[in-house]
Chain A
Amino acid sequence: MTGIAIPELSLVALVGVSGSGKSTFAAQHFGRFEVVSSDFCRGLVADDENDQTVSAAAFDVLHYIAGKRLEGGRLTVVDATNVQRDARRQLLDLARAHDVLPVAIVLDVPESVCLERNRNRPDRDFGPHVVRRQRDQLRRSLKGLAKEGFRQVHVLRSIDEIEAVTITRERLYNDRRDEHGPFDVIGDVHGCRSELVSLLERLGYVVTDDDAVHPEGRRVIFLGDLVDRGPDSPGVLRLAMGMTATGHALAVPGNHEHKLIRALDGKQVKIGHGLAETLAQLERQPPEFTVAVREWCRGLVSHLVLDDGKLVVAHAGLKEAYHGRASGRVRSFALYGDTTGETDEFGLPVRYPWANDYRGRAMVLYGHTPTPEPEWVNNTMCLDTGCVFGGHLTALRYPEREVVQVPAERVWYEPVKPLVPSAPVCGGDELDLTDVLGKRVVETAHHGRVTVRAENAAGALEVMSRFALHPRWLPYLPPTMAPVATSPLPDLLEHPAEAFAAFAADGVGEVVCEEKHMGSRAVLLVCRDAETAARRFGAPAGETGAVYTRTGRSFFPPALTEQLLGDVRAAVSAAGLWDEPATGWLLLDAELLPWSVKAGPLLRDQYAAVGAAARSALPAAVTALSAAAARGLDVAALLDRTRSRAVNADAFAAAYRRYVWPVDGLDGVQVAPFQLLATEGATYHDRPHAWHLELADRLVAADPVRFRPTRRLRVSTSSPESVAAGVEWWASLTGDGGEGMVVKPAAGLVRGRKGLVQPGLKVRGREYLRLIYGPDYTEPANLARLKDRGLGHKRSLALREYALGLEALERLARSEPLWRVHEPVFAVLALESEPVDPRL
């Protein structure tokens, strides 16, 4: 009995003449969808599995299907005769294009059997000459299959052998997904044994001559380039080889190991870049050590996929399409990077900055290109900090993402090129149009998949590009908030009773009512200092944060923004908020007052203008109607109505005037924070609102001029007295002309039976709503019609945007790349252009 082991991810070409039993064989050994047959594809394009005239179209389809499967990393078996070299060539190209291993399984069955089988199938009406010709082609092919490029060739030479064979699947060498760490990943060592020992000790390892053991079972991953240039390449190798032998380390090869093997194999290599030192040092070692080195280096796999696919290591990095794949170009990328073929003024190869384009979910750790500081770029990090050139030896603790370094003891080797950032500094994380444009689905942790329609993304792109701040300063956009259900009371549109009832129905017993400030929603991102701003957010000089509106526009020109951030920073320091927990930046949700700061043009051009027009028209109408009435004409009803409208117009003007107060620069501007959104490594939406408000109170206490407190009241939705107190509180707030209040679950983020509970419901005041629904909305005839309003879409939108906002915050706190944080932020803006009644 024969056993065949094939790689788990491969393109398997069945090779055999018509009637050799390929389809039966495929059905026995492979899954229903794993097998793509040329006959089936003939059927797809021509309704006839035997129509030889459509072969070209059928193979187009076959290659397309196989390509899609391989792209998705799925084993694919091609059931076709594959006796012609050209047909196999196309499959080999396909395998190469997707960087999977090509495998050939040949069914070499006697001609008589094939002819017999074909005779018994009435649909196969081709003559015996066809089978004979195919057998000739097969015989001529057999010898050259491996040379053609098949990594495995299995020939089954008899019916018995075909029937007895078993097929097993082997995982790829690079597939180490079952290794979960924790790891300490170490960049290019280049023979710096002494620094390596220091670093291992700093990481907590107990180091001997040829092993290092961590008491907590942590393991090292060497990123290659252990050798060359430095003082003790054999010493480094001895340690690394020993550690991999005992299972205390994993390793991938670097281009220097690759070259060393070739040199040790006696191949012609240019002795440069420090290889001479290594060869000389190995000369002084016993010969069996050199043999062991050669074997060890040869056994290294060019990249490893670890921890359920969450971590990928390769010496020069690896783009996502190559993760877990095996081909010459994958290996060459892993060893040498994405070289452009050009060289720079120092004669070094120019490398394409693949990490800028990287959009994969796996963290990629690599070395190869010396950089002064390890830096995250799209969830990748280069850990080569040029130890041998007098820089540092660097390790990254995984999964902690913590950088640990030791400085070089001296410059061991003069660099050809000064140690400077390899690419012009551009904030590292570049955004691509494909990150945002078109229909998109954003995965959120709290509300599943949220879809953004293409036309909404298009609108948002314009706003984001033309009016918003740079995306680095927009890690969050606040969600829209649903209003309370429409009140049944005769002269009100909104009333708190519905809010308390809604939360009670969702099982929320305790809520907090927060005063709705008469200002604009504002998000404040404030960094502790310019250095933090530059390092964490890629800020240009002079910028230490941002103060922006709900569509991402800056409230103020740069100088005023910095001035305001200075005040906020001072208050944060005075309140001691930088240290609980330790953070270099804070993201605050707030209201900025007065509204006229942002909405000055709107207030003047629209609200005041309506007031002025009304003030001009209505008294004149009242005068004319009064004169007519005095003449005895019957205009009483019209006169009453017009008088009432004049009163409404005055109330309308009174309503908008509350939002206006003079501001000079920042004088008169106030910030009312009500929620801490995120700090380094942490989000706070699961904290109770009382905690957030207490924090806000400390900022107010630190600077009562700049900050403004948020009045609040806690209400138990099950207690009639407490609810009555809540209603009373709202009535007093809005009776003074206040905007209203927002009712939130006291605990913060709450899930109910049907998923997320609304994070807040707004209950707006009767007078304020004149600004929304017009001066005359309170007229009974108008109010009756306005009460007919659909809230479903708004509520759904509020939840989707809430989830997107949380997603952005969590990605920000996890230090995910800019495109990942920007994705849900952009989605919030795109959703905001959905057609929903803006008055809700």
Chain B
Amino acid sequence: MLLTLTSTADHATDLGYLLHKHPERVQSFDLSVGTAHVFYPEATDQRCTVALLLEVDPIGLVRGRRFGGDALSLAQYVNDRPYAVSSMLSVALGRVFGSALKGRCDARPELVGVPLPLEVRLPALAGAGIVTGLFAPLGWTVDAAVRPLDPELPEWGDSRYADVTLRGTLPLDRALSHLYVLLPVLDGAKHYWVSSDEVDKLIRTGGSWLAQHPERDAIVTRYLARKRGFVADALSRLAELDDAPALADETDAADETDEAGEIEAAGEASVPLATLRRAAVVEQLKAAGARRVVDLGCGEGMLLRELLADPSFTEIVGADVAPRVLEKAAGRLHLDRMGDRQRERITLLQSSAVYRDDRLAGFDAVVLMEVIEHVDPDRLPDLERTVFAHARPRTVVVTTPNAEYNVLFPSLHEGGLRHRDHRFEWGRAEFAAWAERVAQAHGYTVAHAPVGEPDPGAGPPTQLATFTRSEAPA
């Protein structure tokens, strides 16, 4: 990966003093991230360009398991890291131009802090969409030429890479600190972070200008996302086996927002829909007098936390099909440091809606909160049987999005679904028909309730149905 930085100031070759790199020499540095080469393609009084070329060793990276690398991920060899600007370039920048970054120039101290007309070129930069927002507030003009994904397959459109040129008049140390901090932020959704103290260092470096940056929160959030590391587990391995992109990234990104990575109505500064939904479910459970409750598809345990907080729920089971999610739920609920009495009230277990599970039988209530829309329609009958015929609690509470309401989400294109894993979303009539059929087939009665502020035309954002067992199975 390559970065060039050009000064067009008078006595442009003074750049060499500031960088502590002689324009007539070629230097190489062995770094943890690869081999960095520094050389000057041009060096005249009018124009002086320094190039930082980082040679990444893709095989060494995989085999060395550095940067959170996982030798078991197929993605590791076929990867844009050798080419595209990433956090690794930032690391190289910090190591190779460390003194310049700190604003030290013992030989020519008078040069430090003098604004220079600068031009920075990053020929393969991912994140073209946000680069202007990051650099323009800092005094750069940004010129980004988006590259096609494949010139021989024009129907595939643009890639996420742009050939970016930044122009501005800034002191060199300031310019370098912008790059040092913001390049990792631009580094797509991938986590090749080095260590957590590296993060601290970055935040220190960006301290003075980062505080005023309009995108400060986004920048900080994206750092923190890096820390999580690239976790390849059984699931992502299987996804790759099926030639699907690894899942780790998207799920990691999702849990930072809503528990389901779900779209929220824009501009609605009031209570988030997820909170309203949990409150509605708890209300239904209490109204039904349920004390022993199963949250089927509990995810990371947001509802479980609320149930635990209410002593009227004496036995709580959180069940989910994803072992990784259950681990997270255990962490979020702090099961390991819970008191014995409290700990006895809750059980987490892996279950699947499409296999019968005796452990779910005999409870007062089963909650299916935002679950049915994640099940393929042809496997929904299995879920119905598991819950209504086999577990057969007195009360079943189901929530699901109201598809009619989707038109009110500005960010959702027409016909789009609220979450990429949703297999379907139903309008009120479809949900009511399903609920009625299920209730009839299994001897339940059903009552509906809205969740969230209903729109006069489209209805509520979330729909809820409470099923109450009425008779022995037919």
Contacts and interface: CB of A to CB of B under 8 A. Distances in A.
A829 B55 CA distance: 38
B83 A607 contact: no
A615 B162 CA distance: 11
Interface stretch (B105-113, B148-156, B193-201, B255-263): B148-156
A774 B79 contact: yes
- Max count, chain B CB within 10 A of own CB: residue among A426, A433, A829: A433
Contact of B163 (A609, A616, A628): A616
Interface string B141-153: 0000001111111
A777 to B, nearest CB: 7
B30 interface: no
A643 to B, nearest CB: 13
B161 A832 contact: no
Interface string A601-612: 110111111111
Interface string B1-32: 11010000000000000000000111000000
B243 to A, nearest CB: 4
- Max count, chain B CB within 10 A of own CB: residue among A551, A602, A619, A837: A602
B26 A628 contact: yes
Contacts of B2: 617, 620-621, 624
A339 interface: no
B121 A620 contact: yes
B123 A620 contact: yes
A777 B77 contact: yes
- Max count, chain B CB within 10 A of own CB: residue among A602, A616, A621: A616
Nearest to B72: A835
Interface stretch (A312-320, A630-638, A717-725, A740-748): A630-638
A826 to B, nearest CB: 10
Interface in A619-654: 619-621, 623-625, 627-628, 631, 633-635, 638, 641-642, 645, 649, 653
A777 B148 CA distance: 25
A610 B355 contact: no
Contacts of B124: 612-614, 616-617, 620
Given A612-B159, A621-B53, A631-B43, A832 B84 contact: no
Contacts of A773: 77-78
Given A610-B79, A617-B2, A638-B53, A838 B72 contact: yes
B237 A833 contact: yes
Contacts of B252: none
Nearest to A356: B356
B147 A612 contact: yes
Contacts of A641: 55
Nearest to B152: A657
A40 B108 CA distance: 93
Contact of B71 (A470, A551, A837): A837
Nearest to B63: A785
Nearest to B35: A638
A653 B242 contact: no
A437 B351 CA distance: 9
Contact of B1 (A430, A617, A653): A617
A563 interface: no
A461 B153 contact: no
Nearest to B472: A342
Interface stretch (A87-95, A406-414, A451-459, A683-691): A451-459
Contact of A609 (B80, B321, B353): B80
Interface residues of A, number: 93
A459 B238 contact: yes
A466 B163 CA distance: 40
B385 A605 contact: no
A591 to B, nearest CB: 13
Interface string B65-86: 0000001111101111011100
Contacts of B161: 609, 612-613, 616
Given A461-B352, A613-B83, A774-B79, A470 B379 contact: yes
- Max count, chain B CB within 10 A of own CB: residue among A432, A436, A620: A620
A553 B242 contact: yes
**8 closest Cβ contacts across the A-B interface?**
A459-B234, A627-B41, A833-B234, A612-B159, A620-B123, A599-B243, A616-B124, A613-B83
Given A609-B149, A635-B39, A833-B235, 18 more contacts: A424-B441, A432-B358, A434-B358, A437-B350, A465-B321, A470-B379, A540-B378, A540-B381, A599-B244, A609-B159, A613-B80, A613-B84, A613-B161, A614-B80, A616-B84, A618-B83, A782-B58, A782-B59
Interface of B: 1-2, 4, 24-26, 37, 39-43, 49, 51, 53, 55, 58-59, 63, 71-75, 77-80, 82-84, 121, 123-124, 126, 147-153, 155-156, 159-161, 163, 233-235, 237-238, 240-245, 321-323, 350-359, 374, 378-379, 381-382, 385, 389, 421, 441, 472-474
